[in-house]
Amino acid sequence: MKVGIIGFGSMGSMLMHKFLEAGTVLEEDLFISNRTQEKLVEIFQKYPKVNICNNNADVVSSSDIIFYCVKPSDMREVAESTKKFVRKGQHICAVNACIRFNQLNSLFPDLSCSIVIPSVTGEVNKSVTLAAFNQQSTEKEIACIKTLMDSFSSVTIIPENELGICTDLTSCMPGFIASIFSIIVEEALSRSNLSKEEIHNMIITTILGTSKLCVDQKMPFDQIVERVATKGGITEEGTKVIRSDFPQIVKTLFQHTKERRERTMLNWAGYFSKKNE
């Protein structure tokens, strides 16, 4: 199986490293291109047999599965410049939550396509990768994509209409979690003489321990609350505040991400339509 990656940004780079580290793809079977060739120099030092291509067309011509790791605004231009090089039996994979199958199908008619959303936490092999497939995708192709992404994450196959909220819960969530605990760190600093590093380490260790309770003991969140928030205690007082005030923040968060996603998709769709008039 020959795999192509177009775009060597955060996601493209992670896919390459993870595929090769796991041995899911051989170096000589991996083909990579990027708009800025200088970014690809680092590959030679660690993976000298990887095929560094001078253009996207060479990646498409040489690969069975092609990962398009480009922004939505660039997807149309990149796809149109390469679609004449695609052939029957190839699989097109868009690594972007704002691409939709009606657009991919118009660019690559009759080809099997998927939308795959990894998470940055895949770098430490603890993540969920979302995957949706169009009607042309065969069981064999779905299994191939799943095998590739399973090498560093847990793959969840979902229908296209669930990509929005599921992206918030997986790919976006590390940023949300980090933002919440960053605020907690700053507030704790204002109430303590401890260093930022000491407070950070306390929270990180506690987050890891809480996660292990959920995973190792299969303990749901509400049960952890019951275990810690004894009646009339300090934790119960804190959980009352969270349950009172935090739900509105979560509602606002999901509403804003939904609206931003819809605007991005609308802009992409409009740009796509103008170029096809």
What confidence score (pLDDT) does residue 270 get? Answer: 64
Q: How far apart are CA 269 and CA 175, in angstroms?
A: 27
What is the rounded end-to-end Cα distance, in angstroms, of the chain?
37
pLDDT band at 264 (very low <50, low <70, confident <90, very high): confident
Mapping DSSP to helix (H, G, I), strand (E, B) and coil, where does residue 32 land? strand
What confidence score (pLDDT) does residue 246 get? Answer: 97
What confidence score (pLDDT) does residue 71 get? Answer: 84
Mean pLDDT in the chain? 93
What confidence score (pLDDT) does residue 250 get? Answer: 97
Q: Which residue in 245, 249, 242, 246 sits closest to 228, CA to CA?
A: 242
Position 268 pLDDT exceeds 80: no
Residues in the chain: 277
Q: How far apart are CA 136 and CA 152, in angstroms?
A: 26
**Can you say whether the dihedral through the CA atoms of 209, 212, 213, 216 is positive or negative?**
negative
Q: Which residue in 247, 229, 250, 249 sits closest to 239, CA to CA?
A: 229
Domains of the chain in start order, with CATH, are 3-159 (3.40.50.720), 173-266 (1.10.3730)
How confident is the model over 39-62, as a mean pLDDT?
92
Instruction: Establish how many alpha carbons lie within 13 A of residue 152's alpha carbon, considering only the half-sphere containing its beta carbon.
Output: 23
pLDDT band at 23 (very low <50, low <70, confident <90, very high): very high
